[in-house]
Amino acid sequence: MAEWHLDDLRIALSKKGWDVIGELPGNDYNISASWQIQRSTKRPTLHIDFKGLDDLETLPIERAYACHLRENAKSSLYFSKQRTWKPALKKFISDLDQIDG
């Protein structure tokens, strides 16, 4: 993954009113790190878990290859090339909106 994936994700969240209110450590196995996100203090926080399973170590968040919404594992996002990234990012953000709806 390139840094621009994290930057794009953070910007897309912000544009839809989501705030990253916490960055949590991973589980030393398959999750590199997690972001706690929230749109309103009247709603519960959600978590984006960054996947970093590797043969010998857990990858740092900067090298994670995907993420998913902990509260709905079907909502996932793979850090792909630009051509497929933008539509996938848009769908992931849309999934968040529906869950928060």
Percent of the chain at pLDDT > 90 equals: 75
pLDDT at 37: 97
- Kindly list the distances between the CA atom of residue 48 and the CA atoms of 1, 55, 58, 66, 95, in Å, as whole numbers in the listed order: 16, 22, 16, 10, 12
Q: Is residue 100 one of the residues assigned to a domain?
A: no
Q: Could you list the residue range(s) of the whole structural domain that residue 58 is in?
A: 3-94
Q: Is residue 74 one of the residues assigned to a domain?
A: yes
Q: Is pLDDT above 90 for 23?
A: yes
Which amino acid would we find at residue 62?
Answer: E
Q: What does the block give as tokens for 25?
A: 């450590």
pLDDT at 41: 86
User: pLDDT band at residue 40, thresholds of 50, 70 and 90?
Assistant: confident
Q: How far is CA 85 from the centre of its chain?
A: 13
Q: Is residue 29 one of the residues assigned to a domain?
A: yes
Phi and psi for 49 in degrees, rounded to 5?
-100, 130
Q: Is residue 90 one of the residues assigned to a domain?
A: yes
Averaged confidence pLDDT in the chain: 92
Which amino acid would we find at residue 12?
Answer: A
Q: Is residue 38 one of the residues assigned to a domain?
A: yes
Q: Is residue 99 one of the residues assigned to a domain?
A: no
Q: How many domains does the chain have?
A: 1
User: pLDDT band at residue 100, thresholds of 50, 70 and 90?
Assistant: confident
Q: Is pLDDT above 80 for 101?
A: no
